[in-house]
Amino acid sequence: MPIARKPQDDPALQGTLPEDPAFQQYLSKGGSAAKTQPEAPKDVRFTLHIPGPLCQELDRVREARPLKISRHQWVLEAILEKMQRESGQGM
């Protein structure tokens, strides 16, 4: 496939709009759209299988806390702690 040049504005289409400086001034009084920021990586979902006894133990530890947290939150904390230990970096 041959390389195509970047398309230019279609003058025929532009011509249907007022070309006078007053219209351009009217438009420019509105703010520009924000520049696109690089997208942060999206959250990843996956299914986690935990052996029953281990999950029971997890729940026991979790419920022993004065402030209850979800399994999901507990596992996230565990991941972060392990990452800190292994890489010396926290998030």
Partner 1 sequence: MILVIGGTKGGSGKTLLATNLTVLRAVTGQDVLLIDADEQGSAMDFTRQRQRRMEGEAGYTAIQTREVDVAVQVRRMAPKYGDIIIDVGGRDTASQRAALAVADRLLIPFPPTSVDLWTTDTVVTLLKEAGAFNPGLRAYAMINKAFPRGADNAEAAALLQEYADSWTYVATPVGNRKAFSNAFGGGYAVTEYQPRDAKALAEIRALYQYIFDTKAV
Residues that bind partner 1 (CB under 8 A): 10, 13-14, 16-18, 22-23, 26-34
Minimum distance of partner 1 from residue 21's CB (angstroms): 12
Structure tokens at 46: 């996956």
Are 74 and 58 spatial neighbours (Cβ–Cβ below 8 Å)?
Answer: yes
Cβ of residue 39: shortest distance to partner 1, in angstroms?
Answer: 12
C-beta of 35: minimal distance to partner 1 in Å? 9
CA distances from 44 to 13, 29, 40, 41, 47 (A): 43, 41, 12, 9, 10
Which of 20/63 has CB closer to partner 1?
A: 20
